[in-house]
Amino acid sequence: MQSYLALILGASIGASIRYIFYLINLSAFGLPLSTIIVNIIGSSLAGFFYGKFQSSAYVFMYIGIFGSLTTLSAFSLELFQLLGNKDFLRAIIYFLFNIVITLSFFYAFHVISLKIAS
C-alpha cells in the first residue's frame, strides 16, 4: 500500500509539471519544444538519481514523477503530426532531439551524480 501511495503522489507531481509545460506550449522553427524540454528534464533527473532509490522511493521517483513527467505518447503524437504534414526534416530533427539528446542528458547527469558521490 505504501508503494501505491508513493506512485499516486509521484504521478500527481510529474503530471502537474508536464501539464504546466503543455500550457506554456513552447515551439521554435515549427518544433514542439515543450515535449523535448520535459523529456530532457526527466531524463536528466532520472540519470542523476539512477540506482539511488529502492522500494517506495523508487516507485515515487521513477514510475511516479519521471514516468508522468516524460511522455512518449505526446512525442509519438507530435512526431506523427509532423510526418502526416510531410514535414520530414522537422520530424527527423524532432526525433533525434527526443531520443539522442534525452539519452545523452540521462548519461551526463548519471556521470555527474557519480562524480558528486565520490
pTM: predicted TM-score of the whole model, two decimal places: 0.75
Q: Scanning the structure block, which residue is given the C-alpha cell 522500494?
A: 55
How many percent of the chain have pLDDT more than 90? 58
CA 93 to chain centroid: 17
Q: Which residues pair with 27 in a beta bridge?
A: 32
CA 35 to chain centroid: 8
pLDDT at 88 over 80: yes
pLDDT of residue 12: 97
Q: Scanning the structure block, which residue is given the C-alpha cell 534525452?
A: 102
Using one digit for the tens of pLDDT, what is the confidence trace for 103-114? 999 999 999 999
pLDDT of residue 1: 87
Between CA 8 and CA 34 the distance in angstroms is 23
Q: Taking a C-beta distance cutoff of 8 angstroms, is the pair 75, 22 a contact?
A: no
Q: Which residue has the higher pLDDT, 73 or 100?
A: 100
pLDDT band at residue 72 under the 50/70/90 scheme: confident
**Cα dihedral sign, 13-26-35-106:** negative
Between CA 82 and CA 114 the distance in angstroms is 38
- List the grid coordinates of 11: 504521478
- List the grid coordinates of 72: 512518449
CA 59 to chain centroid: 16
